[in-house]
């Protein structure tokens, strides 16, 4: 029984995602490697587009990982490395775009849509409640309704 459990655990672990960083890319200093991994996780693979360069096996992703590590070993700060990569590949290389005037619509659109949806729901609810109360029946309409209800009995 325990043997089967071990096999199941090993099978599940073997199906976990494998990072694409090759052993020859890994920096000797663990602190610098941790910085490189953190930066690589923020950068989009321009080939795969839905993966970070840390997860991608594409050649361009490998080149970007090497570039990030070169900049880190040259003494650049994290921000300087990101700025350098963005200057070469554009804002699209960032998995999480920066909050700037040109990306304000991108960041603000969900909030605007949420508020617009809430406003539409409120206006719609008020209109429905206004229709439900309506105007009172006139005396003539009330007499006709009473006559119809008497006839139906």
> The tokens of 99 are what?
């909050």
What angle is formed at CA 88 by the lines to CA 57 and CA 23, rounded to 5 degrees? Answer: 30
Please indicate, yes or no, if residue 4 is contained in any of the structural domains. Answer: no
Sign, Cα dihedral of 85, 62, 96, 80: negative
Please indicate, yes or no, if residue 12 is contained in any of the structural domains. Answer: no
Please indicate, yes or no, if residue 38 is contained in any of the structural domains. Answer: yes
Bridge-partner residues for 94, per DSSP?
A: 43
Count CA atoms closer than 13 A to 134's CA, side-chain side. Answer: 4
How much is the pLDDT for 136? 79
Instruction: Tell me which of 98, 117, 142 is where a domain ends.
Output: 98
Bridge-partner residues for 43, per DSSP?
A: 94
C-alpha–C-alpha distance, residues 7 and 93, integer Å: 40
What is the model's pTM?
0.54
Residues 86 and 115 in one domain: no
Domain that includes residue 120, residue range: 102-152
Residues 82 and 134 in one domain: no
How much is the pLDDT for 17? 44
Q: How many other CB atoms are there within 10 angstroms of residue 33's CB atom?
A: 16
CATH code of residue 92: 1.10.8.640
Report CA 53 to chain centroid distance, whole Å.
Answer: 17
How much is the pLDDT for 12? 60
Number of domains in the chain: 2
Residues 92 and 112 in one domain: no
Q: How many other CB atoms are there within 10 angstroms of residue 149's CB atom?
A: 9
Residues 71 and 38 in one domain: yes
Per-residue pLDDT tens digits of the chain, which is 153 residues long: 787 776 666 666 554 444 556 555 666 678 888 888 888 888 888 888 788 888 888 888 888 888 988 998 888 888 999 999 898 888 888 888 777 777 777 778 889 999 999 999 999 888 887 665 667 788 998 899 899 988 877
Please indicate, yes or no, if residue 48 is contained in any of the structural domains. Answer: yes
Please indicate, yes or no, if residue 125 is contained in any of the structural domains. Answer: yes
In total, the chain counts a number of residues equal to: 153
């Amino acid at each position: 029984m325990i043997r089967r459990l071990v096999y199941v655990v090993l099978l599940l672990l073997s199906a976990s995602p494998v990072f694409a960083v090759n052993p020859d890319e890994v920096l000797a200093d663990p602190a610098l490697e941790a910085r490189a991994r953190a930066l690589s996780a923020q950068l989009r693979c321009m080939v795969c587009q839905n993966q970070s360069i840390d997860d991608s096996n594409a050649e361009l992703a490998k080149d970007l990982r090497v570039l990030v590590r070169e900049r880190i070993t040259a003494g650049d700060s994290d921000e300087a490395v990101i700025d350098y990569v963005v200057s070469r590949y554009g804002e699209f290389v960032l998995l999480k775009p920066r909050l700037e005037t040109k990306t304000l619509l991108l960041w603000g659109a969900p909030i605007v849509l949420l508020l617009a949806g809430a406003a539409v729901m409120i206006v719609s609810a008020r209109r429905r409640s206004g229709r439900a109360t309506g105007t009172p029946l006139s005396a003539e309409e009330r007499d006709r309704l009473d006559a119809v209800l008497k006839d139906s009995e």
